[in-house]
């Protein structure tokens, strides 16, 4: 409690996650500093998505602690984590496919809408005013992500790259303190990747949002991240600025598969 407020936004402290006999994460510690873009990289099966799932409350560690803004929140449920101001996207886009892009983004505002679910149905006036206020914020995000032309399109009908962008929009609609992106550029072409990189940098630059992202494209990682954490077989093997991590021998081994036989 006596920590200065400038401490890390999120701390993962010696966290281990187990699925039966498989140790998906083993004693991983890392911190996410306020305002930075942190990239989490590693070979397939290294535990990157597991780490994101632990942070966002989908999994709970059997060992270790997680602190957000200097508060222990190791055992919170996903909605509780969301309420703290953590938003995320998923590796296999998890949009509400039947809803329009606009409605998808509006769902991102659910937590920001005060009042009670049931009272909303009775008190028309305030609910309506609130809806409009939230709508204005969502419209700004739609402008920001340049998706005006598809706002009424059902999300499920969009091409993959745009779905990823809409999913980012839904996460942004929650005005998160921490934004977790699970492979935001997977399956994108070069142009789409450039767009997405620009959005990520802009979100970080304009709104000061702290971002942790998993990404496979090393070029992108080196370009946009302030710091890189490398996982391999559920362990952290490197942590530092991109140019340093790039030269790290353990990292090179992990990617070339040299030391695992």
Q: Contact residues for another protein (CB under 8 A)?
A: 56, 58, 77-79, 82-83, 87-88, 90, 94-99, 103, 106-108, 110-111, 113, 117-118, 120-121, 127, 131, 170-171, 174
Q: Which is nearer to another protein, 77 or 249 (CB)?
A: 77
Residue 52 CB, nearest approach to another protein (Å): 10
Q: What is the dihedral of CA 116, 119, 125, 129, to 10 degrees?
A: 10
> Nearest-CA neighbor of 179 among 213, 219, 207, 228?
213
Name the β-bridge partners of 172: none
CA distance 200 to 229: 18
Task: Considering the complex, state which of residue 110 and residue 258 has its C-beta at the smaller distance from another protein.
Answer: 110
- Residue 179 to residues 3, 55, 69: CA-CA distances in angstroms? 23, 11, 14
Rounded distance between C-alpha atoms, residue 173 and residue 104, angstroms: 10
The minimum distance between CB 242 and another protein, in angstroms, equals 28
CB of 92 to another protein, least distance (A): 10
Nearest CA among 60, 61, 51, 16 for reference residue 31 = 51
- Cβ-count burial of 119 within 10 angstroms (0-12 exposed, 13-18 middle, 19+ buried)? exposed
Q: Cβ closer to another protein: 1 or 122?
A: 122
Minimal distance, residue 100 CB to another protein, in Å: 11
Indicate if the alpha-carbon torsion angle 76, 78, 82, 83 is positive or negative: negative
Q: How far apart are CA 82 and CA 170, in angstroms?
A: 12
Query: Rg of the chain's alpha carbons, rounded to an integer?
Result: 19
Name which of 68 and 90 has its Cβ closer to another protein: 90
CB 196, min distance to another protein, A: 19
- Dist CA 151 CA 169 (whole Å): 11
Compute the least distance from the CB of residue 190 to another protein, in Å: 28
CB of 108 to another protein, least distance (A): 6
Which is nearer to another protein, 96 or 144 (by Cβ)?
A: 96
Q: Which residue, 172 or 251, is less far from another protein as judged by CB?
A: 172
Work out whether strand 37-41 and strand 227-232 pair parallel, antiparallel, or are unpaired. parallel
Nearer to another protein, 98 or 159 (CB): 98
């Amino acid at each position: 409690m006596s920590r200065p407020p400038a401490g890390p936004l999120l701390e993962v402290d010696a966290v281990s996650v187990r699925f039966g006999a498989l140790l998906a994460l083993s004693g991983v510690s890392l911190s996410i500093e306020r305002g930075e873009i942190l990239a989490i990289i590693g070979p397939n099966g290294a535990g990157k998505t597991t780490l994101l799932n632990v942070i966002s409350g989908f999994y709970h560690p059997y060992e270790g602690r997680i602190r957000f803004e200097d508060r222990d929140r190791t055992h919170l449920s996903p909605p509780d984590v969301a309420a703290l101001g953590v938003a995320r996207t998923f590796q296999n886009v998890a949009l509400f496919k039947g809803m329009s892009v606009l409605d998808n983004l509006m769902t991102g505002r659910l937590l920001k809408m005060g009042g009670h679910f049931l009272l909303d149905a009775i008190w028309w006036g305030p609910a309506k005013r609130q809806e409009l206020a939230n709508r204005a914020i969502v419209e700004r995000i739609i402008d920001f992500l340049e998706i005006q032309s598809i706002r009424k399109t059902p999300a499920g009908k969009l091409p993959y790259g745009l779905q990823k962008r809409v999913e980012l929009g839904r996460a942004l609609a929650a005005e998160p303190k921490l934004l977790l992106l699970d492979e935001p550029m997977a399956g994108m072409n070069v142009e789409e990747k450039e767009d997405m990189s620009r959005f990520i940098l802009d979100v970080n630059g304009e709104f000061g949002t702290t971002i942790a992202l998993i990404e496979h494209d090393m070029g992108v990682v080196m370009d946009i991240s302030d710091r890189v954490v490398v996982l391999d077989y559920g362990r952290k093997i490197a942590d530092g600025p991109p140019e340093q991590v790039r030269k790290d021998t353990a990292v090179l081994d992990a990617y070339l598969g040299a030391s695992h036989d």
